[in-house]
Structure 1
Amino acid sequence: MKLWRWILLLVIAAAVAAFGWHWVAEDPGYVLVRFRGVTAQTSLLAAVVLLLLAWIVISMLWRLARWPFGAVSRRHRRLSQQRLADGLVALMEGRHSEAERDLSRASRLDKLRGPSLLAAAEASSRRGEHGRALGLLDDAAQVAPRAARVLRARVLRRDGKPAEALTLLTPEADSGSLSPGGWREYALAALDAGDTRRAYEALEPLQKSGVLGARAYNALETQVLVASVNAAPDGAALNTLWSQWPKGQRRAVAVIDAYARKAASVGQVLPAMDVVESALRREWSSQLAETYGSLPGGDLEARLRRAEAWQEAHPNDPGLLLALGRMCVRLSQWGKARQYLERSFALAPSANAWEALGAMYAGLGDATLAQRCYRNAMATTRGEATESLPAGNVVGGRLDTRPMAMEERDEHGVPRLRP
C-alpha cells in the first residue's frame, strides 16, 4: 500500500479516537457489581477493558492447557504433509513404489486424504497394478468423487478397457457436467474404443475449456479427424462427414491425406485428387505430394505432367520425386523412374523409396534386386540394417547425392545466384 494511504488511515484513526474519547468523557457510565457482600464499582469503559483482558487471559490459559494434548496431532499433521510432498516428488521421479507408500501414509490425515489417495492410485497405475489403483480410487471417491471418476477412466484405459472407461464417463458427458480433464479422457477412451462420433463430440468442450495447449489440442483433433475418416463405411458416409466439418478442420495435412486415401479406396479417385491438388496449391506439403503419386486410377499421364510442373518450384522435394518415380513405374517409363527414385532416395531414404525401387526392378524383370529392395523396405520399417545394392545400381556406392542444380527464383521471379 502506498505511503499516502497509510497516512490517511492514521489520520482517520486519530480523528475517530479523539471524537470517541470526547464522547465517552462526557458520560463515562457507571457499573456496580455486588456479590456476597463484596461491592465493586467502575465506569463502563473500564469494565469493558477488564472483560477483554479477562477473556485474553482465559484464552491463553486454555491454549496452554491444551498444548500437551495437541502435540501428537501436530506431529501427525506435520509428518503427513511431509509424506505428501515426498510422495509427489517420488511420483514425478518415477519411484512409483516409494510414492505409493508415502502417499498412502499421508492419506491418514483427513485433510490430505483426497489428493493423497488420488496420487497413490496414479502411482499404482504407472506400476501396472491397475487393480490396486482401482481399490484406492474406491476410497478416494468418498472424498473427491469427480476427480476419482476421471482417474478411474484413465486407469481403465491404460488397462486395455476403453469401453468401460467410456461407459463410466458417458452420463456426465451427456449432461455436459464433465470436468475438463474428463473430456480429454472421454475423447481418448472413445478413440481407443473405436467410437469416433463421441470422440468428435468431445472436441468442442475441450477447446472451450483450454485444458490443452494449442499444439496438444491440434494433435488430438487431427487424431480424431483421421480416425473418423478411416472409420467411414462407404463413400456416401465419407462425403457427408467431410462436408459437415468446418474448413479449419479440413486443412490439416494428415486429415487431407487420410481423406484422399480413404476416398480412393472406396472408388472416389477424382475427389481425392481434387482435394490433394487444392491443398498443394494452398500450401505445399511433401507428404501430400507423395500421396498424389500413390493414388490409383485416373488419367495417369496427365497427372504425371501436372506433378512434373510442380518440380520447377520444388526441385529437391523427396516426396514429389518419389511420387514421380511411382507414376513412371506404373507407366513403364523405366529411365525416368530410375532418375526420380534415385534422387528421392538420395535426399531422404525411406521404406517407401525402397518399395518403389523394388517395383521398378520387378518391372524390369530383375527379381533378385526387387526382392532385396522389398526386404530393405521391411528392414527400414523395423529399424534394422539394410542390404546395399551392387555398385553402379540405384543407391549404389557411386550415387551423386548433391541437390539437383535447377534454377531457383525469389518471390519476384528473379533467379537466385548460387554460391
Structure 2
Amino acid sequence: MRRLFLIIVSVLIVGGTLGILMKQDTGYVLLAYGNITLETSIWVFSAFILVLLFVLSWVKRILFASLKPGSSLAKLTGNLHQKRASRNTIRGLLELVGGNWSKAEKLLTKSASNVPYPLINHIAAAYAASEQDNNERSKTLLREAHRSSPEAEFAISFAQSQIQMRQGHFESALATLLRLHKIQPKHRQVLKMLVQAYSHLEDWQALLNLTPLLKKEGILNDSNMLDLEKKAFNALLEHFSHKSLQGHSHSDILKTIDTVWQKLDGLEDDENMRITYAKAMLEFGDESKAESFIRKCLNKLWSDQLVLVYGQIEHKNAKKALQQAESWLSKHKDSAELLLTCGRLSQMLQLWGKARDYYQSSIDLQPKPEAISDLGRLLNALGDNEASQALFLASLNAQNKQIQELPLPSLLSKSS
C-alpha cells in the first residue's frame, strides 16, 4: 500500500512538472524529407517516439513467441521445410535408381537435415558417391549416417560392406562382413557376401569352413553348393601342392585334406571329385588310403575312370589287388579300363602272358592309346618286335581313319 502511494505521488509530481514545462514552452520540431515536411511540438514528437518504441517492443515479443518450437507459426514453417525435404528425398532416391548419381547425391544430402530419418539420405547418398568413384565422400556420408543414427550400426556397416565390395576393397569388406557375421551369424545376405569375399581373396580354407553353415541355412542350392565345394577343394589341393614343393610335411597336408573331405560329404557323390581325392592321396604318398578309398567307392558305385587310378597305385600286395580287380570283372567284363588295370597289375607281378592277354582284350573292346602303349612296350621287351610294330601301325591306322588313303611304294618296286 505504501509502495502504491509512493508511485501515485511520483506520477503526480512528474506529470505536474511536465505540464508546467509544456505551458511555458511547447518547443518546435521540423522534419523534412524531399518535398514533405512535418511540423510539431517537441512534446508531441516525444510522445510519438514513446508510443513507437512501445509498439516495436510488443512486435518483437510477438515474433519471438511465434517462432519458438511448438508455436503454430514455427510448426507451419517447419512443416513446409519437411515437405520440401521429403519431396527432394523421394526425387533423390528415384535419381539413384535411375543411375543419375550426381543429381541423386545432391538432392539427398541437401534434404538430409530436414527429414525425420536422415539415415536413409546419408546411406543412399553414400551409394551415389561410390558409384562416382568418390570413395572419400562416400566414407564421409557413412560417418554422417552413424552420427545421425548410431543405433543403426548394423545397417550402416552392411551398406559399407556393399560399397567396399563394389570398389574392389575385398579385404576391408571382409573385415566389415566378419563383424556383421558376429552380430547376426545367420544373416543370409551377409553369408552370401562372405562367399564372394573369400572367393575373390582365394581364402579357400575359410570358405570351406563356412560351407556347413551355408548348407544349414540353405544359402545356395544343391548345384551351386556342389560347384562351390568343388572349386574350393580343387583350389585347396593346388595350394597344398605348392606347399609340398616348399618342403611342408606330407602327413600334415594329408590330414588337412582328409578333414576337409569328411566335411564336404557332397563331394563323394561326384565322380570327378572322387578321382581328384584319390589322386591327391597318391600325390602326397598315401597309397594305402587311396587303395582303400577306391575299393570302397567301386564296390558302391562303379567308375571306369576311377578303376584306372586303381591300376596306377604301387600296391604293397599286388597279388591281392589283382584278385580284387579280377573279382570286378564278373560284373564289368565289358570295361576296357578294368581290363587295362588287370593287365597293369599282372605286369607288376611279372605275369607277362596274362598281362598281354588283358591288354589285348582291352584293345579289342576299345583301342585306347594307354593300352596300346603298354602292350607295345611289353611285346618289345619280350622280343616280339614284329608284333609290337604291327600293333603300333594298327593304332596309327585306327587313329587316322579320316585321312585320305594314298598309294604307297611296295617292297617289289623297292627291290627293282
| Length-normalised TM-score, structure 1 | 0.48
**Structure with the bigger percentage of helix:** 2
TM-score (norm 2): 0.48
Larger-Rg structure: 2
